[in-house]
Structure 1
């Protein structure tokens, strides 16, 4: 996701630089956008290297590519380590380490009693459940994934309050 956008921006910037009547403000804006994408890619790569090891980055990126393909179908997509309760959030094509524990999204102080991510993790199977938070209803799908020898769970969350299901 980042790489194709970065290549596109590089081409645009090169074209702008080589043109005779380059809009310098637009060039600066495009350069700043490219810098931000490079920074986000570096943050993601450093996190992956620290958590999974550099040798598993290709596997992790392949999983992210599959997630990006369905990102618009869900309201939230998270990669969860249900043992450590750690979360990586996927937001608008960006992967960010969350400061919250996985259960805090559900406004809880401890791991959920009926945690489908730990079930998916333990049983190597996909689990689905409905969860209520405040006045909202969510359908959650938990899918186990392996990156090298590290097992994580992809959580796909769809807010369905007031929708015909």
Structure 2
């Protein structure tokens, strides 16, 4: 632990720190609350430590807890909403209690790795974004993959419930996809999935909506803020567009249809798994009823 680092030292040398960092604060690593230094007393400011960098929940790799546990100074880069933050944490003792001094710098345009002539190619923010895209993008369809769905859907649900807004999801499944692979080959099947993903993307409303590949030939459409009626309009638009689209590969005109299952909720008690299962059940109702239809 950095025994020489006290709150008085930081306060007396604030000028130096302010030139290096955008935010300097004291945090209780257990409650995750930011503390305000008022005279000789530290009192809770009320805001959570993760709010400052635009996160909705506690960081999975919370280095303040690690600093508390190991009694050591740590640093990390946190990427949120296309911004990269350099965060340094230092444990200090105040009234026989270990607190954390957090120093935060928006390093999106100022942190580099290695050297290049223009500097753009080695920005750490660019490297992080490239790595992030590799982990959350489906390489075939260029939409979110299952990991993207698992990470994004819970956040969107929390945000909607916090605003007292509904949220809707649509499960989309290509009908008889195995027969396409069997008849035309897997390369053609891949082409169909890629074209279908592009077709679905053209039907969503705005940047808040998103599409992910749930698995195989199954896709998930998420529409934050939309009730069942709005979700049905989007599903019908997708259904119509698929019916009109020509999937032509190697001079073969491939006709496809899709089944849709819609689930909407504003129930704050519902879990992600329950939400997905309800939409999945509607999808299978559509398939069992003869496919090429929407059930909600």
Q: 1:117 to 1:67 in 2, by over 3 A?
A: farther
- Specify which structure has the higher proportion of helix: 1
Residue aligned with 1:100, SS: strand
Q: How does 1:71-86 map to 2 (within 5 A)?
A: 71-86=18-33
Q: Distance in 2 between matches of 1:67 and 1:108?
A: 26
**Do 2:25 and 2:35's aligned partners in 1 also have CA atoms closer than 8 Å?**
yes
Residue aligned with 2:64, SS: helix
Q: 1:161 to 1:60 in 2, by over 3 A?
A: closer
Unaligned runs of 5+ in 1: 1-58
**Do 1:77 and 1:89's aligned partners in 2 also have CA atoms closer than 8 Å?**
no
Question: Would you say how many aligned residue pairs link Structure 1 and Structure 2?
Answer: 103
2:103 aligned with 1:156, yes or no? Answer: yes
1:134 equivalent in structure 2: 81
1:74-100 CA distance string (max 9 Å, x none): 11111110101111368xxxx995331
Q: Distance in 1 between matches of 2:15 and 2:43?
A: 14
TM value normalised by structure 2: 0.31
Give RMSD over aligned pairs. Answer: 2.5
2:75 aligned with 1:123, yes or no? Answer: no
Q: 1:162 to 1:80 in 2, by over 3 A?
A: same
Q: Distance in 2 between matches of 1:135 and 1:96?
A: 32
Q: 2:17 aligns with which of 42, 46, 70?
A: 70
Q: Which has the larger radius of gyration?
A: 2
1:113 equivalent in structure 2: 60
Residue aligned with 1:157, SS: strand
What is the CA-CA distance between 1:160 and the residue it aligns to? 1.2
Q: Distance in 1 between matches of 2:91 and 2:10?
A: 11
**Do 1:129 and 1:140's aligned partners in 2 also have CA atoms closer than 8 Å?**
yes
Unaligned runs of 5+ in 2: 1-5, 113-296
Higher RCO (Cα < 8 Å, 6 or more apart): 1
**Do 2:29 and 2:99's aligned partners in 1 also have CA atoms closer than 8 Å?**
yes
1:104 equivalent in structure 2: 51
Q: 1:89 to 1:69 in 2, by over 3 A?
A: farther
